[in-house]
Structure 1
Amino acid sequence: MLGEFSNALDNAEKTPQRLVSAVLSAWETQGTTGATARNLAALAHIPVSSIYHHFGDMEHLLQAAQDDALQAANRWCYRQVELVHGARAKGPAALGSLLAAIIDDWCETQRTLAFAFRQSQLMALRDLQHRPTRAHWSAAWRSLWQRICGHLDLADVALATAWFFEGAIALHLLRWRRPVDRAALEELCHGWADWLDGHLAGPSPWFDGARDAAAALAAAQRLAPAETNAASIAAAAARTIERHGIVGLTHRAVAAEAGVTLGVVSHRYRTSADLLNAAFEAIYCRMVPTEETREPKPMPRQEATDLLQNAYARRENALGLEELSVATARDPAFAGFAAQLRYLRGRSSGPYFQAILGEERSISAIDAAIFSAFLSGRGNACLHEDWPATAADVSPLLARLNRTRAVVG
C-alpha cells in the first residue's frame, strides 16, 4: 500500500514536466494546432483536468514550456562556450567553421528547442504580451556570441554575429538535402568570416548549385498568368494564415476571405495540402519578388546606407513569412519550399547591399544571402525589443568589410 502511495506521489511530481514535454513535442511536430488541451493530455497520458490542476490554464502551461526551453537553451549556450574555451584560434579565420558547427548542432541535435524558439517568435508576433519571452531568446544569443567573439578577438562584431546567427539558424532549420545543406551552411558561415576579414565571400559551389535548383523549383510552382482566379484564392489563403495561423486555414475560411463560394475554392484546391501549397506560394512571392516582376532600383550609396535605419519587415509581413518558414521546416512535404526559402534569400536585399558597397565591388548571390540573414536577425531585434535601428548598427561590420575607405558612423 505504501509503495502504491509512493508511486502516486512520484507520478504527481512528474506530471507537470510531462505536460511541458508534451508542449515542446507538439511545437516541433504539429505546431500551434497540436497545442490543445486534449492533444497535450493525450501526449502526456494524463487527464485533461491535470493541466488546470497544475498550471491553472493553457496560457500558463505554454509559458512554462517556453521557460523550460529557455533554460535548456542557456545550458546549451554555456556548453558551447566551455567547449571553445582554451582554443588557440583567433580572428575571422577561426570563426567560419566554428559558426557553422554551432548552427548545425543547434538545428540538428537541439531541434526541439529550435522549434520552441521559433514558436516564441510566432507567439510574440501574434500577441505583444509574449515579447519579453522572445527578448530572452535574443539575450541568450547575444551572450553566446559576446563570449565566443570576445575569445576570438572579434568583440566589435559580436552583436552583428549574433544577428547573423539568428538569421542563419532560421534558414538551416529548413531541410532540403542534408549533405548539400550542410556544405552550403559552411560556405555561408565562411562568407561571414570573410566579411570580417575585409573581403567578400569566396567561392560557393554548393550554395550556388542549390540556388539554381531552388530557382527551377520556384519557376515550376509559379502560377500561370491565366490562372487569375487561382491567384486570387491563393492570396486569400495567405491572408487567412497571417490572421489566424495554419490552424485557421480551411476551405470555408478562404472562400469567405476571397469573396467566392466554397465550391469554387474546393474545385481549384481539392485538398488542404493543395490549399496550403497555394497559400505558401502566395506569401513567398509577395515577400520575395520574382526576377521577372522585380525592377532594379539603383540608388546612391549614401541613400542606401540611410535606409538601414528602417530596414526590417512590418509585423504582418514578418508573421506571414514566419508561419511559412516554421511549417516548411516541420513538414518534409514542403521540401521544395525549404529549398526556395534557404537559397533564394537576398534577391531583394542584394541590390540594396550592392549600393551600400558601391559599384566597384561586385557582390555574389551568397553575399546577398549573408546580408539577408544579418538583416533578419537585426529586424527581429527591432520587432521584438524596440531596437532603435540606425546605420551605426552596421558600422563595425562595414568597417571590417570596407577597410579601405570611410565608413558610416
Structure 2
Amino acid sequence: MATLALSPHPTQDRLIKAVLNQWQIEGSSGITARRLAALADVPVSSIYHHFDSLDELQVYAQQRARHEAENWCAALLEAIGDFPASPVAFGSFFAHVIDAWCEGQRHLAFAWRECDSAPDTEHLIQGEAQAWQRLWYEFWREACAHFQVVHGHVITKRIFDTESMFHLMRWHRAIDQAALGELSRTLGSWFAGTPPPPTPWRDHTHALALETMPALPERDETARRIVVAAQQVLAEGGSPHLTHRRVARRAELTLGTVSHKFPTKSELLGAAFEGAYSATVDKLDPRRFSSADLDAVIHAIADSISSATRERARNELFLAVARDPALSHFGRQLRYLRGRTGRGLLQSLVGPHRTITATEDALFSDFSLGQIRRHALFPSYDICDQIRAEFVDILALFERPSPEA
C-alpha cells in the first residue's frame, strides 16, 4: 500500500484528523463511517472515494501520527546537544520526554497505543506497529548515547513503553508530575551508579492508593465465568467486538443469563476490565519463585508472553482508564501500586548486598511489563534468550553495594 502524501487532499486530511480524534477520545470503538463523516463534515461516500476501506483510512492515520512523532523526536534529539552529556542528567530528560509526550502530544500517544492494541487479524496495522517500535528504539539509542548511558537503551525503552502508558492516566497533575520526576531520577541513579534518591511524592501516593484501593465485587460462579469470558473477548477483538452474544457464546451461557448479570454494554465492559485488572495485579507474585532463581523468573515471563491477546486486554484496560475519569479508581492503583505484588522479587535477584526501594520495585515492574508487551506483540523463536540478555543488563546495574551496606 502506498504512503499518503504529506500534503493530502483537504477531505483526506479532515478524515485523518477525525480518526486521530476518535482514538484519543473513544478509541477504535468510535470508528464508524457515519461518525467519521460527521466529524469531518463530509458525506460518508467521501471516505470510500479517497480510501479503499475504513481499515486503509486508519493505516494512513497511523502513518500521519508516526510522521509527526518522528519530527517531534528529531527536534528533541537536536535539542539535547545543549544538555549535559552525563548519566546524572539522564533522569530529568527521561521525565521531560514522558510528560511532554503524554500531555503535549496526547493525540499521537493514543494513536501509538491503538496501533499496538489492534487484533492480529488487522494485518495492515501490524507493519505500522513495528515501525513505531523502531522509532522509539532508535530515539532512545541516540538519547542514551548522548547521556553516556552505556548499554542502557533497551532497558530505557522497556521502561518508557510502560511508564508512558501510565502517565496517560491523569489523576492529580502536580502529584503525577512530581512522582514521575522521582521515578525518573531513580532510573538515572541506576545508570549513574549513585544511591537511589528519596521519593516522598511517590511514597505518599503509594500509601494513599493502598488506603483507597477498591475492593473488586464478590461474584458468584456464573458471574465469574462471564468476567473471564468478557476479558477474553476484549483481548481478542477489542471493545468494538465485546457484545453480550459473543460473551455468552464464550462462557457457554445463554444470552439471557449474561444480559441479566450485566444488563448494559458499559457494565459488560466493566466486567472485562475487572478481569484484565485482576490478571495484571496478580502477575509475578514473589511466592512463585525460589530465592534468586533467575531461570524461574525468565520462564514465568516467557509464559506470560505466550499469548499476545492477554497483552491487548491489558492495553484496552489502560487506555480506557486514561480516557475516562470515571475509571480513575482503577487508574490510581495501576499507576502507583506497581511493584507491590512483585515486591521482593528484584531484591531476591539482586541479593542482600543492595537494598531495593519501593520506587525501584516500580521501575522493575515497568521493565517487566515492557518486556512482556514487546515480546507478546512481536514474538520471536528465541524469546527466553532475549529476556535473559535484558535481565543480565539490568541486574548488572546493581552490582555496586548500596552505601549503607
Q: Same fold (TM over 0.5)?
A: yes
Task: Choose the corresponding residue for 1:75, options 71, 77, 81.
Answer: 71
Identity among equivalent positions (%) equals 35
In 2, Cα distance between equivalents of 1:24 and 1:290: 32
User: Which residue matches 1:96?
Assistant: 91
Matches within 5 A, 1:119-268: 119-123=114-118, 125=120, 127=122, 129-198=124-193, 201-218=196-213, 220-224=214-218, 227-268=220-261
Higher Rg of the two aligned structures = 1
- Does 2:111 match 1:116? yes
8 Å contact from structure 2 (residues 22, 30) kept in 1? yes
Q: By how many angstroms is 1:353 displaced?
A: 2.0
In 2, Cα distance between equivalents of 1:80 and 1:396: 26
SS in 2 for 1:118: helix
- Does 2:364 match 1:368? no
Cα deviation code 1:183-222 (max 9, x no counterpart): 111111111111112356332222232223333443x332
Q: By how many angstroms is 1:125 displaced?
A: 5.0
* Unmatched tracts of structure 1, length 5 or more: 1-10
Moved more, 197-206 or 39-48: 197-206
* Unmatched tracts of structure 2, length 5 or more: 1-6
User: Which residue matches 2:276?
Assistant: 283
User: Which residue matches 2:80?
Assistant: 84
User: Which residue matches 1:5?
Assistant: none
Q: By how many angstroms is 1:307 displaced?
A: 4.4
8 Å contact from structure 2 (residues 308, 377) kept in 1? no
- Does 2:53 match 1:57? yes
Task: Choose the corresponding residue for 1:45, options 41, 53, 71.
Answer: 41
Cα deviation code 1:24-65 (max 9, x no counterpart): 111111111111111111111111111111112222111100
User: Which residue matches 1:8?
Assistant: none
Matches within 5 A, 1:314-393: 314-386=307-379, 388=382, 389-393=386-390
In 2, Cα distance between equivalents of 1:129 and 1:345: 34
Q: By how many angstroms is 1:12 displaced?
A: 9.0
8 Å contact from structure 1 (residues 107, 172) kept in 2? yes
8 Å contact from structure 1 (residues 304, 352) kept in 2? no
User: Which residue matches 1:4?
Assistant: none
Q: By how many angstroms is 1:374 displaced?
A: 1.7
SS in 1 for 2:11: helix
Go from structure 1 to structure 2 and tell me whether the alpha carbon gap of 1:147 and 1:124 turns closer, same or farther (over 3 Å shift).
farther
8 Å contact from structure 1 (residues 125, 319) kept in 2? no
Letter in 2 for 1:72: E
Letter in 2 for 1:353: L
Instruction: Give the alignment's TM-score, normalised by structure 1.
Output: 0.86
In 2, Cα distance between equivalents of 1:71 and 1:338: 30
In 2, Cα distance between equivalents of 1:311 and 1:182: 34
8 Å contact from structure 1 (residues 24, 116) kept in 2? yes
In 2, Cα distance between equivalents of 1:393 and 1:134: 22
Instruction: Give the alignment's TM-score, normalised by structure 2.
Output: 0.87
Go from structure 1 to structure 2 and tell me whether the alpha carbon gap of 1:308 and 1:237 turns closer, same or farther (over 3 Å shift).
closer
- Does 2:32 match 1:36? yes
Go from structure 1 to structure 2 and tell me whether the alpha carbon gap of 1:252 and 1:302 turns closer, same or farther (over 3 Å shift).
closer
Alignment RMSD, CA only? Answer: 2.8
